[in-house]
Amino acid sequence: MKIYKAKDYKDMSRKAANIISAQVIMKPNCVLGLATGSTPIGTYDQLVEWYIKGDLDFSEVTTVNLDEYKGLPRTNDQSYYYFMHQHLFDRVNIDPERTNVPNGMEPDAEKECGRYEELIRSLGGVDLQLLGLGHNGHIGFNEPGEAFEKETHCVDLTESTIEANKRFFASADDVPKQAYTMGIKTIMQAKKILIVVNGENKADIVERAFFGPVTPEVPASILQLHNDVTLVGDKAALAKIG
Ligand code: F6R
């Protein structure tokens, strides 16, 4: 695993955006796996800035997002579809037809998860998968458990996740109770993985995930077994790993 220590959030975002840019320049028709959450927002802003400057061209890029809430329409500003359009897709010259987010409005989980796996397969797999890291070690919506869930699947959100997300919705009843997410095998099949972390509240989990035992209790720990992982973190998040 390569580890890049950044001075701060801005520096982390620039370093991560540089790695994504390199991928897009080296292979203009690459497949990028993308994540939502607060950590990659600065990375997307940096990519947009370089696109506006004329240094990046997304016209041939295809994207596949990690996850989406089940039952939330795309027009809801908490959907991951909405997030991706707001932070990246609507700001660069990507072809909307080549952007893919699990369809949260498909009620048949088996159908949607099968479709998404097949889609990734038909694209020839993911060239570079961007990930954030949850405080409990989750990646995508793969929460700590007794086994690694392999392929794209439907998850029941934990009470704590519903509780944490409540602030974004009118009431706890409006918070989606399920989500579709790429599985661990889907993620591990990406040719390259880029994981971004910032803030001192991620320092413990960074140590457990990348220097602790590989266990489904810390889903991100499986990344230790991938042969092309780059971790980019700010000083605070990497404080415990020297
Ligand atoms: C987002 C995702 C999540 C986040 C993780 C970290 O698509 O799948 O696993 O990457 O929850 O979120 P932030 O970046 O908000 O700390």
pLDDT per position as a tens digit, 56-65:
999 999 999 9
* pLDDT value of position 160: 75
ipTM above 0.95, yes or no: yes
Active site residue 143: yes
CA 174 to ligand 1 centroid distance, Å = 20
DSSP 126-163: -SEEEE---TTS-BTTB-S-SS---SSEEEEPPHHHHH
Strand partners, 230: 2, 194
User: Rounded CA gap, 108 and 144, in Å?
Assistant: 24
pLDDT per position as a tens digit, 38-79:
999 999 999 999 999 999 999 999 999 999 999 999 999 999
* pLDDT value of position 73: 93
What are the sequence ranges of the domains in the chain? 2-125+132-183+213-219
With CA atoms as reference, report the closest residue to 224 among 184, 166, 197. Answer: 184
User: Rounded CA gap, 242 and 238, in Å?
Assistant: 7
Active site residue 49: no
Q: Considering the chain, what is the average pLDDT of its residues?
A: 96
The rounded percent of the chain whose pLDDT value lies above 70 is 100
User: Rounded CA gap, 11 and 69, in Å?
Assistant: 30
> Does CATH number 2.60.120.10 belong to domain 2-125+132-183+213-219?
no
Which residues line the pocket of ligand 1, CB cutoff 6 A?
A: 35-39, 66-67, 132-134, 138-140
Q: Looking at the chain, how many residues does it have?
A: 242
Q: Residues with Cβ < 8 Å from 229, sequence gap 6 or more?
A: 1, 2, 192, 193, 194, 195, 223
pLDDT per position as a tens digit, 172-200:
788 899 999 999 999 999 999 999 999 99
Residue 166 has pLDDT above 90, yes or no: no
Residue 162 has pLDDT above 90, yes or no: no
Residue 242 has pLDDT above 90, yes or no: no
CA 21 to ligand 1 centroid distance, Å = 21
Active site residue 136: yes
| Catalytic site residue from 18, 76, 136, 165 | 136
